[in-house]
Amino acid sequence: MTVIVTGGAGFIGSNFIFHMLGKYPDYRIVCLDKLTYAGNLSTLAPVMENPNFRFVKADICDREAVFKLFEEEKPDMVVNFAAESHVDRSIEDPGVFLQTNIIGTQVMMDACRKYGIKRYHQVSTDEVYGDLPLDRPDLLFTEQTPLHTSSPYSSSKASADLLVLAYHRTYGLPVSISRCSNNYGPYHFPEKLIPLMIANALNDKPLPVYGQGLNVRDWLYVEDHCKAIDLVIHKGREGEVYNIGGHNEMANIDIVKLICKELDKPESLITYVADRKGHDMRYAIDPTKIHTELGWLPETKFADGIKKTIKWYLENRSWWETILSGEYKDYYERMYKNR
């Protein structure tokens, strides 16, 4: 079995590669990644020498490079993680989001059509459903919830999802889609809430909370997401969408306070800054379908997962300090100065 994993030098893709190489010693895993600012080859260092692993630096929008790779590898499956993934960056500059997230998905599926595939899997997000009100805790996203996006990022992901379903209906491509809630864990790029707060707290820098910090996200440990995708690509039904989430809703401010507590840092570091434009209020996944059909349940409780994550950032300072010292500095200036 040969699996092409796009975006495998990023946060979730790298964790997925580690999971797959560990669990399936007879699989060949080929990582296709452009190495944008969010991709980090050093993350894949532990598997670079693995004979079942190959890394290829290429853009998923580059038709020639993608088709050449399919020609060489004749993959059985593709799992498409490659994406521009940060909402704040999509608000600043939507263009690259449409290019990578939509056109890149089309190119990958065109290659699958041409060379044949057992499964094309699209890694999507709960953000395609828009947001839920804070005062209706009974409401959750199901696979039937209409797509109703808020940001250029979520709109590009929803567009890709529609294209994936169209390729299934029109060309019979064997596809599946998973829509997961917010992930956290090792190798999370420090522009996202949890790793940013850990890194800033460790450096005694202000912790910038948007608005009043009341927005709610539904957090899932990254390994649980990887296990869910593994189940969907092997046992999930073709043409189906599976929501992934572990009923773990938390307000941003509570997460930030928890990180302060775990690191023994004062809450006075918390700084309320201008809110994100169009900020989604609450996400919450109903994972009934993947549980009843495929038997998936999250294994890591948030209280344990956040401790493991903080420990990882403490033990792997050089991984994120290298990122912080590069072009990230300009990004941080741009995003947080005068906010």
Per-residue x/- mask for ligand TYD, residues 232 to 271, rule CB under 6 A?
--------------------x-------------------
Q: Which does 300 bind (CB under 5 to 8 A by kind): ligand NAD, ligand TYD, none?
A: none
Residue 229 in the binding site for ligand TYD (CB under 6 A): no
Q: Which does 215 bind (CB under 5 to 8 A by kind): ligand NAD, ligand TYD, none?
A: ligand TYD
d(CA 49, CA 189) in angstroms, rounded, equals 24
Tell me, yes or no, if 161 is annotated catalytic: no
Closer residue to ligand NAD in complex, CB, 36/50: 36
Number of amino acids touching ligand NAD (CB under 6 A) = 30
Q: What is the rounded radius of gyration, in angstroms, for the C-alpha atoms of the chain?
A: 19
What is the distance, to the nearest Å, from the Cα of residue 309 to the centroid of all Cα atoms in its chain?
16
Nearest 5 degrees, angle CA 163-CA 167-CA 170?
A: 125
- According to CB under 6 A, which one of 34, 89, 179, 192 is a site residue for ligand TYD? 192
Per-residue x/- mask for ligand TYD, residues 74 to 103, rule CB under 6 A?
-------------x----------------
Q: Is residue 277 exposed (0-12), middle (13-18) or buried (19+ Cβ within 10 Å)?
A: exposed
Question: Least distance (Å) from ligand NAD to the CB of residue 264?
Answer: 27
Alpha helices, DSSP H, located in 59-175: 63-73, 87-92, 95-98, 104-115, 152-171
- Tokens linked to 23: 């669990």
Tell me, yes or no, if 127 is annotated catalytic: yes
Number of amino acids touching ligand TYD (CB under 6 A) = 12
Q: Which of residues 72-111 bind ligand NAD (CB under 6 A)?
A: 81-85, 100, 104
- Tokens linked to 69: 């790779």
d(CA 338, CA 329) in angstroms, rounded, equals 15
Annotated active-site residue in 129, 153, 210, 313:
153
d(CA 325, CA 320) in angstroms, rounded, equals 9
Tell me, yes or no, if 321 is annotated catalytic: no
